[in-house]
Structures are given as C-alpha cells and as structure tokens.
Structure 1
Amino acid sequence: MADVLDMTLDELRAALAARLPEEAAFEGWTDAALDAAALALGVPPERARLAFADGAGQMIDAWFADVDRQMAAALPPETLAAMRIRDRITALVWTRITLVEPHREALRRALAVLALPQNVLLGTRLGWRAADVMWRLAGDTATGFAHYTKRLTLSAVYGATVLAFLDDESEEQADTRAFLDRRIDDVMKFEKFKAQLKPDPDRHFNVARFLGRLRYPTH
C-alpha cells in the first residue's frame, strides 16, 4: 500500500486506468466508479479524484492509453516485423478489440460520454491517437499527405469496427472480424490508389467521401 500511496498523479492515473472499466460498467464514468477503483487499489478516493480532476473524459483518456500500452506489449516489434503491413494493421486493430471485449458495457458508456457535444474534440483526438499509435507500431514512417490520410482512414476503420463489435452477437465476434477484414481491404485499395496518383491527389480523390464509405459501407 505504501508504494501506491507514494505514486505521483501520473503513476496513479495509469494504475487506476486498468481498474476503472470494471467499475464503469456498472457505475458509468462517474465519481462513484472512480471511488470504487481507488478503494480496490487501496488509494484514498480523494486522491484519486485529484488525479482525475477533469472528470469522465480524463478517465476514458487514461483507459484508452492503457489499451495502447497493452496492445504494444501484446504485439512487440519482432512479432509485427514478421507480418505483411496489412496483417500488422489487422492484428493491431483486432488486439484492441480483444482487449476491450471484457469491458463492452464500459466501452459503450465511454462512447456515449465522448459523443456529448462538449467532448467531441476529445473523442476525435483519442481516435487519432489510437490510429497514430497503431501506424507507428506497424512501422509507418510516412510524412506529409500520406501521414495524415493513413491516420484518418485507420481512425475511421477502427471507429466503425468498434461500433460493429458493440452490436455483434456472433460467436467469438466472427461478424466483427469479417467486417474488419473488409474495411482493411478498402484501406489497402486506397493506399494502392494513392501510389498511382499524380502529384496533386486532391484533384482526383475526395477523402471525406472515402471516409464516409468506411464508416457507412454499402455491403
């Protein structure tokens, strides 16, 4: 307990992040969930509230950062290096899904919080961060236009896959996996298409229309 009590606020946020979704599934992303997580770790609730003074959004941010850490640990560089690029991205997205699968209700509640008008920018930032982490783990070194379009497309793919997962009642999320495979196919087609473009890609391709297709596919 002494070690827990001696943690900095950053260390405490990281420690609580792993426990918070268990409580948020029942209490929502509230002070009640934070208090329960703190007591489970032997931390005074008032100190936990100090660590998450900005409320629900900060708690969700910390949980998603913890998912990033777990994903990176589950797929170390030597594992990813043996895969094709599309298989790396697929593995990274699917690992994120499997990590949040035990906390489906907490995730559902988190997305509801992020959908509130005051949290839209935070939700966008967290989606971008997830995509950036996945591309970096996959070994991406793109700059300029390619850097941004890769992250935009992957954040759309991941967001759409999460929504499919939340409604998936198939065995072992088979429907979600099939959905993900189709969306990754779209991303790879996009990357191939970009490679064939002339220097002025915006004249030939509408990014917004493509992202809309990823989020709301016709099949």
Structure 2
Amino acid sequence: MLNTPIDPAKMQLLDAILPHVAFDGWAPSAFNAAVAEVDIDPAHAKTLCPRGAVDLAVAYHQRGDAEMRAALATADMSDMRFRDKVAYAIRLRLAAIDDKEAVRRGTALFALPHMAPDGAKLIWGTADAIWDALGDTSQDGNWYSKRLILSGVYSATVLFWLGDDSFDQQATDAFIDRRIDDVMQFEKVKASVNKNPLLKPLTGPLGRLMGSIKAPSQTPRADLPGTWSEPQ
C-alpha cells in the first residue's frame, strides 16, 4: 500500500478543523471555519479538499495509519506470538487517535450510504497497513482473506472502543484479545478441514481456486484489486 505524505497545508486545515468537528461534525461549516482560521485562500483549500470536510476526515484516518506504521517500525516484537503482534498493532492504531469525538463523527459520516465505499476503503487500508508492517508475504487469495478478516476485527473494535468508559480502556483490550482468539480458532478449524483426507474432493479445488487469485502486487497495475487466472 502506498504511503503518500499529506500536503502540509492540508495538515494545517486538518488540525484547524478538529475542534469544530466535535460540535458540527465533518460538515461544510466546520471546513469553512478551518479555512478562515488557517487564513488560506478558499480556492486553494478547495483544490486541496474538493469534497471539503470529507477529504479532511479521510486525511485524519490516513494520518492515524501513518502514525501506527511509524510506531510498528520501531517496536520490538521479537518475543511476541504472531497473534499478539496483530493485537498490538490494533492497539497502536487506537493509540494514534488523539480525538475520540472526531472518530465518532467520522463513523457516522462513513456509515451514510453514499459514503460507505470510502469508509470501507479506509478500514481496508488500515488492515493492509497492519499486514504489510507485520511482513505478510501472501500472494494469492489469502492476501484478500487476511485483510477482509482483519478489517472486520478492526471495525468491530473501533465501535466497541467508542463506547468504552472502562479504566485505561481495559474492556477494549479484552475485546481485542477475544476477537483475535476467534480468528485463531477459525484458522485452526480451517487447517484441520484442509488436512482431512475425506474432504479433499472439496478442499482441493477450493485451494486451487484461491491460488489462482493474485494479490495486487502481482498485477501489471498495482491499483487494481487483483487478477484472475485459470486454475492449473
């Protein structure tokens, strides 16, 4: 996943809009107030953010992803089990959030039907950033399934975290551990099914099917979701 730095002027607008988001949400009024405070030409602000506050909401999420990647890059996880590394990455992503109300308002924004594709893309991007940081090397259908599962875990965690008023977010920590345990149980069941000789007539073709799906890095255009090739 490409990690494109956010334009400095856009970062200024993002910092300026956050105090207004708590009251107005990611709305045009909040965007206009940020533009006035930064003292930037409105035309230039519109060039940086064609959709106004929506683009700043996207930038806020992407900034959190960038902070998580930076924290993971310097973290010593050598003694952690892999499941603990994934849980740790999710906790780092939550720790990168400096404004809970901005996330609450963003969750409401991206739940709107016309904004749902943007919201799904952002969550997918977070899952992709975590897997990349943890050194994922899958190149077939597993590339997609890993990110799909982690997207579900992370989005559920955020919703739980928004309502968590426990001391030091202990309830959220426990929630993350339970979700990761659920995923690991699923993986154990999947592994046992794949090893069962009685199920080979079913799992064999499915495995070849998954192997024929290529991760984006293997395609001529890396921005495409994937490619399809005939099973060998």
TM-score by length of 2: 0.73
Listed as ranges, the matches of 1:42-191 within 5 Å are 42-76=39-73, 79-100=76-97, 102-191=98-187
Which range moves more in the overlay, 56-65 or 170-179?
A: 56-65
Match of 2:229 in 1: none
The count of residues paired between Structure 1 and Structure 2 equals 196
Match of 2:197 in 1: none
Check whether the contact 2:31–2:52 (CA below 8 A) recurs between aligned residues. no
Deviation at 1:107, TM superposition (A): 0.8
Q: 1:150 aligns to what SS in structure 2?
A: helix
Residue segments in structure 2 that go unaligned for 5+ positions in a row: 195-199, 207-232
Max Rg structure: 2
Q: List per-residue Cα deviations over 1:156-190 (Å, max 9, x = no partner).
A: 00010101011111111111111111001112222
Q: List per-residue Cα deviations over 1:53-97 (Å, max 9, x = no partner).
A: 123432221111100111111221553455332122111111111
Check whether the contact 1:80–1:138 (CA below 8 A) recurs between aligned residues. no
Distance (Å, rounded) in 2 between the aligned partners of 1:105 and 1:39? 22
Distance (Å, rounded) in 2 between the aligned partners of 1:63 and 1:115? 16
Match of 1:13 in 2: 10
Distance verdict in 2 for CA 1:53–1:85, change over 3 Å = same
Check whether the contact 1:132–1:151 (CA below 8 A) recurs between aligned residues. yes
Q: List per-residue Cα deviations over 1:18-42 (Å, max 9, x = no partner).
A: 5543432233112332344445545
Distance verdict in 2 for CA 1:81–1:31, change over 3 Å = farther
2:124 maps to amino acid: W
Q: 2:66 aligns to what SS in structure 1?
A: helix
Distance (Å, rounded) in 2 between the aligned partners of 1:118 and 1:86? 35
Residue segments in structure 1 that go unaligned for 5+ positions in a row: 1-7, 204-219
Q: Root-mean-square deviation (CA), in Å?
A: 2.7
Distance (Å, rounded) in 2 between the aligned partners of 1:157 and 1:141? 20
Deviation at 1:45, TM superposition (A): 4.3
Q: 1:76 aligns to what SS in structure 2?
A: helix
Q: List per-residue Cα deviations over 1:121-151 (Å, max 9, x = no partner).
A: 1111111111111111111111222111111
1:69 maps to amino acid: A
Deviation at 1:9, TM superposition (A): 8.3
